[in-house]
Chains A and B, each alone.
Chain A
């Protein structure tokens, strides 16, 4: 990485420089005061930077060199499925017929785009075992909320609007309880048992006639398959609730088990995880939702349908719909990439994806097991969670281990999550990594474990090779500086 003081773009600004080339004004010019009333024209210009084109490129190139992506190196960030982002996807999404079409064009002029969306929907119906899929939610959390709103509408339509509780395991992603709150539900937490799975007795204890839904990730955030899934679904269905599948971990079960066959009533997928939409530094995502037949009437508007004549149409005539969750039809560009990926892999490919994702995780888990605590010792799925409690006793925290990994050129695992593991490290290698890459990372982890015993300060003081050292986060939060302000004088 690039090690020098990095200017802000505003600090490169110099009055009189331009970085743009606007069309020539070929209509008669007007004085703005003739077109806009007094007070409508801003008095102070927005202080955007004035920089010439090459210097803009150098600035952002320098920034990119201070950033680690999947193409830069291994990125085993648990629960985020940081697999390779295929380049053909980028080319397809940039085809003019996809990138340069307006969402409000006459349907007859965008049939190709609608066909692609319909094909993607159809593929996801098969992959999830659901009856219908909407592509509208913009990201996983948005999909969670969309599905919960549908569950709420379902209960209300059945005269059961009193169902206001959503049950969430203690190992759940933070978005689960937050989505439940935003959809107007109260969250009840159900405990995990000593095997890291949902405690069925506790589940039986918390369900009741006010249960709206159970939200579950399977495999769960420990990377373990909830073996009692059918029994759990029975408990929830028995009291009239719905079972929701958080598809964040779908990479672990493709072609092995489908949410629809496991008793789930609805599911959201993260196309930016399993289906290679690039993560973009934090987004955009795409979070389609699949549902079983009895939830179909509540799908958000519009619903994409294929008409008898073979043409595609957005259907707005859905009287029981929860309404619109997003302007237009979802993050189309990400959906194009996901479809391209599915067509690149095909049925055999998707099966192999899951098999290698799980093989890789188990291999890493077994090789690291002698050096770190493994709280749940059984086959994992696509990821596993180690505990750094052994190292903590020696004064090295999981945060230190993560920072030390930076010195080896790796993005660390997800740390301190799930919440039910002390000093947790959640490792997800994905299927696109070679054995050599896995071995090199394992060697680094073993070295860090040894350093912890022999020379802990090298770990505690890490990172040593990055462009900056550990940042003062307390200061950032106490005296927030959220924008650049030009120094006077």
Chain B
């Protein structure tokens, strides 16, 4: 078998077998019992040449409607934002993407320093004391926060606001089941967590209260009030926050959050049909030794030079094994690098400006919908999403919109029965006035 990824020649093979003292390669597999030996070849599609395969896969990709050639108003946790072009140039450097976890710090200073910078940027944005090197995504990061809280407080109940992303809540429920932790939903009122209901539900077995900021409906929760309620009951306060919104919004760390998690997809990471994204996990110093995943710390080498290492590893699965409270091993390092480059490109000013553009453009869309006769439900402060009431089913409307090159919003009725015929419209800085006007016009015509 000759293949461009397999450099051994027949002569090499012969020489190596002679060194080993084996007659054939098959002999090396003689320890596999005859009864379980697989004979022949896998029944999978035959190999293709580089050019033929590329052609085939391009055709497959072309079957999809992408957010590049269409105008997308779909958000619901994953957003179509400005991606600085340098992001892809940096993460395409193979010294980064073909490396693994920086176990050998002397030859991994690049990765380690990049993570240290990522940790700093996330801590800055969230207002937390520290952040880890990344998690799989925002949903599993939230679930891990719940597990941490249950372990830390030795309590077995999580109060989860219904204004958190429904898929995140589902993931929390799965993790909680594994740990025999009860998950109780906190209802919403006017599109935000119902504080009175929360007060009634919280008790001395509550490990944490979880909310999202801005929440799934784009509304901005009153973190201070909710955090106070959590702390009064001696539970932790966990916030799932969109880090791009934190360019403008008061960071959870200043409003009482003990753990802030979320997804850094908003910083330079493509939508990529669900992943890979970049979960982040930030906490107060008090919880430092309970943080899941990898942490990079600063130290010095034997000659006093500044350098970086993986640290506080006594928390992790490879040391604690069955005593570990999290099993995470691989994380999303390359995406953390991507997010770091995007956060760096935006910088102190850009992150404020981009966040403000989202708010202002969404306000423009809200006014335009209302002017066209639509009802925009939930009138509280919003970030980059609004909920618009339609007269006809959202999924049918979206099938019409795609004909005009528009990817419509999220159909809220699919997860909130009381919001049937309500669509969640996301307006990022990339949407132009004209695109918003066309959306309002098309939706108006369809729902007339």
Contacts and interface: CB of A to CB of B under 8 A. Distances in A.
Interface stretch (A182-190, A198-206, A390-398, A444-452): A182-190
A435 B274 contact: no
B3 A345 contact: yes
Interface in B154-181: 165, 167-168, 170-171, 173-175, 177-180
Contacts of A22: 82, 350, 353-354, 357, 429
Nearest to B243: A46
Contacts of B234: none
Interface stretch (B46-54, B198-206, B369-377, B438-446): B46-54
A110 B64 contact: yes
A472 B356 CA distance: 43
A71 B94 contact: yes
B347 A18 contact: yes
B9 to A, nearest CB: 8
Given A1-B107, A184-B179, A333-B276, A178 B320 contact: yes
B109 A112 contact: no
A5 to B, nearest CB: 7
A211 to B, nearest CB: 16
Interface in B21-80: 21-22, 25, 27-33, 35-38, 40-48, 50, 53-54, 56-58, 60-69, 72, 74, 76-78, 80
Nearest to A30: B360
Contacts of A25: 357, 360-361
Given A9-B344, A272-B330, A366-B20, A103 B360 contact: no
A331 B301 CA distance: 37
A48 B106 contact: no
Q: Which of A19, A62, A330 has the largest number of chain B CB atoms within 10 A?
A: A19
Contact of A411 (B56, B104, B138): B104
Nearest to A483: B120
A258 B38 contact: yes
A328 B274 contact: yes
Contacts of B246: 42, 46
Given A46-B351, A262-B36, A30 B46 contact: no
B233 interface: no
B447 interface: no
A467 interface: yes
A10 B120 contact: yes
A106 B334 contact: no
A136 B57 CA distance: 21
Interface in A69-89: 69-72, 75, 77, 80, 82-86, 88
A345 B407 CA distance: 36
B432 A23 contact: yes
B137 A98 contact: no
A482 B102 contact: no
B307 interface: yes
A63 B170 contact: no
Given A256-B32, A482-B295, A483-B131, A65 B110 contact: yes
Given A352-B3, A480-B311, A279 B98 contact: yes
B341 A56 contact: yes
A163 interface: no
A63 B113 contact: yes
A126 B168 contact: no
A181 interface: yes
Contact of B109 (A6, A80, A283, A326): A6
Given A138-B137, A483-B120, A64 B95 contact: yes
B416 interface: no
B249 A41 contact: yes
Q: Which of A22, A323, A352 has the largest number of chain B CB atoms within 10 A?
A: A22
A325 B430 CA distance: 31
Contact of A88 (B53, B117, B170): B53
B30 to A, nearest CB: 7
Contact of B106 (A42, A53, A403): A403
A19 B137 contact: no
A101 B67 contact: yes
A367 interface: yes
Interface residues of A, number: 206
A253 interface: yes
A230 interface: yes
A279 to B, nearest CB: 4
Q: Which of A61, A476, A482 has the largest number of chain B CB atoms within 10 A?
A: A482
A341 to B, nearest CB: 9
A88 B345 contact: no
A149 interface: yes
B363 interface: yes
A362 B26 CA distance: 12
B195 interface: no
Interface stretch (B185-193, B385-393, B394-402): B394-402
B273 A103 contact: yes
A77 to B, nearest CB: 6
A5 B344 CA distance: 20
Interface string B335-353: 1010011011111111111
Contact of A346 (B45, B330, B433): B45
A19 B90 contact: no
A101 B273 contact: yes
A112 B64 contact: yes
Contacts of A173: 318
A468 B121 contact: no
A431 interface: yes
A84 B98 CA distance: 8
B259 interface: no
B421 interface: no
Contact of A35 (B29, B69, B173, B381): B381
A478 B160 CA distance: 35
A101 B65 contact: yes
Contacts of B271: 99-103
27 contacts: A36-B220, A36-B359, A40-B250, A42-B250, A63-B113, A64-B90, A64-B110, A101-B67, A106-B398, A112-B62, A139-B329, A174-B320, A177-B324, A178-B321, A181-B323, A182-B324, A182-B326, A186-B322, A284-B136, A285-B330, A327-B168, A329-B273, A349-B6, A435-B16, A469-B106, A469-B305, A482-B130
The 5 closest A-B pairs by CB, nearest first: A346-B47, A328-B274, A97-B61, A112-B63, A280-B334
